[in-house]
């Protein structure tokens, strides 16, 4: 559990880019709920 929290913060701090497939899925399903790719594009 602690490792997941650490990695979540690490990826956010380093602005690790998302791969194209997860971006496409998220834009299709989560945009209507306010999701945006932000600094991870």
Instruction: Delimit the domains of the chain by residue range.
Output: 2-40
- Which residues of the chain fall below pLDDT 70? none
- Predicted pLDDT of residue 15: 92
Which residues, 6 or more positions from 37, have their beta carbon under 8 angstroms from its beta carbon?
18, 23, 26, 27
Q: Which long-range contacts (CB under 8 A, 24 or more apart) does 28-34 make?
A: none
Spatial distance between the Cα atoms of 7 and 29, rounded to a whole number of angstroms: 24
Best CA proximity match to 14, nearest among 35, 40, 34: 40
Query: pTM of the predicted model, to two decimals?
Result: 0.60
Model pLDDT, residue 41: 84
Give the separation between CA 39 and CA 15, rounded to whole angstroms.
6
């Amino acid at each position: 559990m602690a490792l997941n929290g650490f990695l979540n913060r690490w990826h956010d701090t380093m602005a690790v880019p998302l791969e194209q497939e997860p971006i496409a899925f998220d834009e299709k399903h989560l945009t209507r709920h306010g999701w945006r790719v932000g600094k991870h594009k």
